[in-house]
């Protein structure tokens, strides 16, 4: 086997897809309460990216474990509504809407208005559309 950049990229891509599929399956099967950790960043190409991590108790030790879930490109402004729609679309695409509705218990974000403003921040929109028990931890 030749050790080329292309070969390593393909191998890394395969491993990441496999790990992601296992994580999604674990979320569906386990039905544990979870929290989302959300932050935005700008990549070297000046694209706005929403980084989403998921945290849930390990099924054996019950210790909280944090996993990278997805990096979502924000093509529109980062309003609370647009962030909610991007997250909702992701959970819908992965067939995780049931889990989002029933198992989401908390969202951790920074203190920005687009995340926390009453009614129009991500927290208020999540509470109105997904789960009334969502708390924002800053």
**CATH level 3 topology of 5-137:** Nucleotidyltransferase; domain 5 (3.30.420)
Return left, alpha or beta for 95; rule: phi > 0 is left, psi -120 to 50 is alpha, else beta.
Answer: left
**Residue spans per domain, the chain:** 5-137
Give the pLDDT confidence score for residue 44 in this predicted structure.
Answer: 86
Reading the chain (138 residues) residue by residue, the pLDDT tens digits are 567 888 878 888 888 889 999 999 999 998 899 999 999 888 888 889 999 999 999 888 889 999 999 999 999 988 899 999 999 999 999 999 999 989 999 899 888 888 888 888 888 888 888 866 666 665
Give the pLDDT confidence score for residue 72 in this predicted structure.
Answer: 95
Beta bridge partners of 71: 51
Q: What does pTM read for this prediction?
A: 0.85
């Amino acid at each position: 086997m030749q050790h080329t950049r292309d070969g390593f990229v393909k191998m890394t891509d395969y491993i990441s897809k496999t790990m992601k599929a296992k994580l999604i399956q674990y979320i569906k099967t386990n039905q544990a309460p979870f929290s989302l950790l959300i932050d935005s960043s700008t990549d070297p190409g000046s694209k706005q990216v929403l980084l989403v991590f998921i945290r849930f108790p390990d099924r054996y030790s019950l210790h909280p474990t944090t996993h990278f879930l997805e990096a979502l490109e924000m093509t529109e402004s980062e309003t609370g509504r647009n962030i909610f729609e991007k997250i909702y679309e992701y959970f819908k695409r992965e067939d995780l809407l049931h889990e989002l509705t029933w198992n989401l218990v908390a969202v951790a974000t920074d203190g920005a208005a687009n995340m926390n403003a009453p009614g129009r921040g991500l927290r208020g929109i999540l509470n109105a559309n997904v789960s009334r028990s969502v708390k924002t931890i800053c």
